[in-house]
Structure 1
Amino acid sequence: MLIRNAINTDIPGILNLLLQVDMVHHNGRPDLFKGPATKYNAEELLKIIEDSMTPVFVCVDKEKVLGHAFCIHKQVVGDPVLTDIKTLYIDDICVDENNRGNHIGKLLYEHVLEYAKKNSFYNITLNVWTCNPGAMKFYESLGLKPQKICMETIL
């Protein structure tokens, strides 16, 4: 297995993973997630992959995409309340459902962590849906802690 920056030939595999992510969310919150769908199409993925501010890392085995991590560089500058820290936001992380339990997610996260350290980020953040307790447990096992909590009332 190898973790590297995504390239255009990875797009079909990434789309498959995005569909898997959507279905986890759709099954957990069908009131919010349409399913089956992907949050990006192939054309959008190509632009994301080519943008240095949105690095996408993939775990591949013989060029088969087994997992991905989408990241976004974020920085608030000159805010009257918030400090000018540089954050690496994990927009999406997924391991193919047929390859879970093989530590691919941990390897991807460790790669993101090294990237963040090498590029002088202050922190790494991500969002996780409460309807995905497996993901919550996984992130906690990596040492992530809640930063803020979004709450709702359905009317």
Structure 2
Amino acid sequence: MKNLIVRYAKREELESVNKIRKQVNEVHVKGRPDIFREDGWQFIEPFVYTRFDEENSGVIVAAIEDEIVGFAVVQYIVRPESPYNKERKFFHIEEFGVDENYRRKGIATAIIDFVKEDAKKRSFKKIELDMWEFND
């Protein structure tokens, strides 16, 4: 998409990210009302600020001009070896979404491409994404 830039978010852009997160939450409530609460938004809205401030996390945005049209909340996870498991190091896409007015325009692909490059730069060889079957 023309004029699309993918980069790490600025704190003042998190309100725009939350507008898209709310759209994603509504999809989850509709897709799995047995799991997701309709009133749950009030509890998860501040979460993006927490992830933004954490050293091992980040918020990535896709922007067209000054409008935020997509996002990913990511974590850089390193789990040391334990008696049960080998060491695991992976780039975790915890949340992901594109504004409903911009879907099917290549924005999600651009965000994933950015994540892949960023993971490489940070020496992560694995990327994990949590997803529900009703997401398309």
- Give yes or no for TM over 0.5: yes
* Pairwise CA distance, 1:109: 0.4
Q: Structure 2 CA distance, aligned partners of 1:15 and 1:62?
A: 18
Provide the alpha-carbon RMSD of the alignment. Answer: 1.6
What is the CA–CA distance in structure 2 between the aligned matches of 1:65 and 1:47, rounded to whole Å? Answer: 19
DSSP-derived class of the 1:55 partner: strand
- Superimposed CA distance per residue, residues 84-134 of structure 1 (whole angstroms, 9 cap, x where no aligned partner): 1311110011010100111000000010011111111120001111232x1
Distance in structure 1 (CA, Å) of the matches to 2:30 and 2:69 = 22
Counterpart residue type for residue 15 of structure 1? N
Once the two structures are superposed, residues 47-95 of structure 1 have per-residue CA deviations (whole angstroms, 9 ceiling, x without a partner) of: 3223231111100112211000110111221212322131111001101
From 67, 71, 76, the equivalent of 2:70 is: 67
Unaligned runs of 5+ in 2: none
Give the direction of change, closer, same or farther, for the CA distance of 1:104–1:122 in structure 2 (3 Å limit): same
Q: Which has the higher contact order (CA 8 A, sep 6+)?
A: 2
Give the strand-richer structure, 1 or 2: 2
The answer to whether the 8 A contact 2:81-2:88 is kept is no
Which residue of the partner structure matches residue 143 of structure 1? none
SS in 1 for 2:81: coil
> SS of the counterpart of 1:69?
strand
Residue among 18, 22, 25 paired with 1:19: 22
| Count of residues in correspondence between the two structures | 132
- d(CA) in 1 for partners of 2:63, 2:95: 17
CA contact (8 A) 2:48 2:73 kept: no
Identity of aligned residues (%): 27
Q: Is residue 2:89 matched to residue 1:86?
A: yes
TM-score by length of 1: 0.78
The list of structure 1 runs, each at least 4 consecutive aligned residues, that deviate by more than 3 angstroms after superposition, is none
Question: Would you say 1:120 and 2:123 are equivalent positions?
Answer: yes
Gapped runs of 5+ residues in structure 1?
135-155
Structure 1 position 105 matched with structure 2 position 108:
yes
User: 2: distance between equivalents of 1:23 and 1:41?
Assistant: 13
Using the size of structure 2 for normalisation, the TM-score is 0.88
Aligned CA distance change for structure 1 residues 108 and 130 (closer, same or farther; 3 Å) = same
